[in-house]
Amino acid sequence: MVVVGGGLAGISAALGAADGGARVTLLERRSRLGGLTWSFQRKGLWFDNGQHLFLRCCTAYLAFLRRLGADGEVRLQRRLDLPVLAPRRPPSHLRRADLPAPFHLLPSLAGYRHLPVADRLRLGRAAAALRGLDPGDPALDGTTFAGWLRRHGQSDRSIERLWGLIVLATVNLPAEEASLAMAVKVFRTGLLDRADAGDLGWSTVPLGRLHGDRAARALAAAGVEVVTGSAVGAVRPEGDGWVVVAGDRRLRADSVVLATPPEQAARLAPAAGLAASAGLGHSPIVNVHLVLDRKVTDLPMAACVGSPVQFVFDRTAAAGAIRGQVLAISLSAADRYLGRRPEALVATFAGALGDVFPVARTARVLDGVVTRERAATFRAVPGSGARRPGPVTAQPGLFVAGAWCATGWPATMEGAVRSGASAAAAALRHLGSASTTSAPCPPAPTATVPVGAAGGHPADAPALEGVA
């Protein structure tokens, strides 16, 4: 079997297939594994391209970390506690109480300072209605979350300062654009169905170590051949199997998993029925990393409302800093920031940070770095559900994986891992659960690799911009 793409979906697929007895070769266009979760070093400190949260309900991702031997390098809250900050206002906390779902959130919602009392009293109406919706109902994918909330008595302020805060971070779209189906999945699975489901987790080490380095070791131990720096130029059926062309190398395989972005998958396999998926579109994420000369907060992470800052993470220890503080500001659905110069973004968010952490007004910015993932996730707008395929394509032996596939989840690490596991299971069924080989064959006389050939990432690399 050949897996094309070394992101979380590809790693998950390769490990799942190898654990099922298949011989697997994984091809990755870049020089590293980990996909859209990667790290870089600058001036002696480590930075992640973006910050990622997971929840206790992300069972596939937690199992994936255990499979990598990385479960000791994350922090998972014992009990949900999300500080929510606003400029010049006391903080509020979204905490779970020692009550059964959905009542575990009632005390924190009743005291949520960022909404007037009248709005707080109406929150229960929408929450109760959400619990009655089935995330798998296709009809829910026909409307926006904000539109549904307004029909259930929620004010614009409630949408902005509570409902939209959560959906923006999980779906990577504002509530005005996000599909109701994806929002229902987030709120039911993550907050309403089980009391402990929403406990927050995050990496305590650079993501390149958590996913990339750990995955390389796990794949090697599983017997998976990993070839990085290998752009795939063609995937085509041949006889009763497949040929994958990567540079001057040709691999024969009984099955192939394309764990690439949807447009690359559709281009590599035009007969696989993926044209609709190629039109899913993208929603970007921008991160502004600030190295400060002093500590400005004791919070490991926080959300913000009424501020340009959306989420802020303390990455001091993960960065390897021994003094000062390293903060990462994560901006979802960040279309408006893509064209801004890095020095302007650093200045804007350093100033905004002072509005929520007053001590930051006295801090000096020693360094600033901006990372941009222009194609961070697909756009989960109404109608997107019908464009998300399952792992099985129209061509026997060809499978797809990625957070854009029909996992029932938004484009998250959980969705990516689930998709890889589903693709591996489907491929093993296709192979009759028997071992398969991916053996090199003589190079094609005129094998070429077109520009933008698929690997685990979009062809346009995310921008990395520093401000001294």
pLDDT tens-digit readout, 109-141: 999 999 999 999 999 999 999 999 999 999 999
Residue 213 near residue 203 (C-beta atoms within 8 A)? no
* Strand (E) or helix (H) holding 248: none
Average pLDDT over residues 85-96: 95
- Whether residue 411 has pLDDT greater than 60: yes
Average pLDDT over residues 71-99: 96
DSSP output for 133-159: S-TT-GGGGGSBHHHHHHHTT--HHHI
The architecture of the domain spanning 95-198 is Orthogonal Bundle (1.10)
CATH number of 2-40+57-70+205-280+383-441: 3.50.50.60
CB crowding 373-403: b at 16 or more within 10 Å, else e: bbbbbbbbbbebbebbbebbbebebbbbbbb
**How do residues 277-317 score in pLDDT, each as one tens digit?**
999 999 999 999 999 999 999 999 999 999 999 999 999 99
Partnered with residue 328 across adjacent β-strands are 289, 313
- Whether residue 460 has pLDDT greater than 80: no
Q: Which tokens hold the place of 109?
A: 């919602």
Whole-angstrom distance, CA of residue 402 vs CA of residue 259: 6
CATH number of 283-377: 3.90.660.10
Per-residue pLDDT, 296: 98
Cβ-based neighbours of 450, under 8 Å, separated by 6 or more: 233
Per-residue pLDDT, 465: 60
Average pLDDT over residues 186-200: 97
Tell the residue number behind the tokens 């949807």, with chain if given: 262
- Whether residue 336 has pLDDT greater than 90: yes
Per-residue pLDDT, 467: 54
SS3 364: coil
Per-residue pLDDT, 287: 98
In which residue ranges of the chain is CATH 3.90.660.10 found? 283-377
pLDDT bin (cut points 50, 70, 90) of residue 47 is very high
Average pLDDT over residues 439-444: 35
Cα first-last separation, the chain: 46
Per-residue pLDDT, 188: 97
pLDDT bin (cut points 50, 70, 90) of residue 456 is very low
Least confident range from 2-11, 129-138, 266-275, 447-456: namely 447-456
Per-residue pLDDT, 88: 87
In the chain, % of residues over pLDDT 70 = 92
- Whether residue 226 has pLDDT greater than 80: yes
**How do residues 348-369 score in pLDDT, each as one tens digit?**
999 999 999 999 999 999 999 9
Average pLDDT over residues 403-423: 98
C-alpha to C-alpha distances, 9 to 34, 86, 111, 425, nearest whole angstrom: 9, 36, 40, 13
**How do residues 381-400 score in pLDDT, each as one tens digit?**
999 999 999 999 999 999 99
| Amino acid of residue 276 | A
Give the dihedral sign, CA 109/138/411/7. Answer: positive
pLDDT bin (cut points 50, 70, 90) of residue 464 is low
Per-residue pLDDT, 194: 97
In which residue ranges of the chain is CATH 3.50.50.60 found? 2-40+57-70+205-280+383-441
- Whether residue 459 has pLDDT greater than 90: no
Average pLDDT, rounded, for the chain: 92
- E-strand stretches of 193-347: 200-203, 225-228, 232-238, 241-246, 249-253, 256-258, 283-292, 301-304, 311-314, 325-332
Question: Where do runs of H (alpha helix) occur along 222-371?
Answer: 262-268, 316-319, 342-356
Whole-angstrom distance, CA of residue 403 vs CA of residue 259: 9
Residue 123 near residue 159 (C-beta atoms within 8 A)? no
Average pLDDT over residues 64-69: 98
Per-residue pLDDT, 449: 24
Residue 276 near residue 386 (C-beta atoms within 8 A)? yes
pTM of the model: 0.92
Nearest to 460 by CA among 382, 372, 348: 372
What is the bridge-based pairing of β-strands 256-258 and 283-292? Answer: unpaired
Whole-angstrom distance, CA of residue 379 vs CA of residue 178: 8
Average pLDDT over residues 440-445: 34
- Whether residue 165 has pLDDT greater than 90: yes
Residue 39 near residue 14 (C-beta atoms within 8 A)? no
Whole-angstrom distance, CA of residue 45 vs CA of residue 208: 13
Per-residue pLDDT, 196: 97
- Whether residue 445 has pLDDT greater than 80: no
In which residue ranges of the chain is CATH 1.10.405 found? 95-198
C-alpha to C-alpha distances, 414 to 75, 98, 272, 409, nearest whole angstrom: 16, 26, 25, 8
Whole-angstrom distance, CA of residue 225 vs CA of residue 371: 31
- Whether residue 162 has pLDDT greater than 50: yes
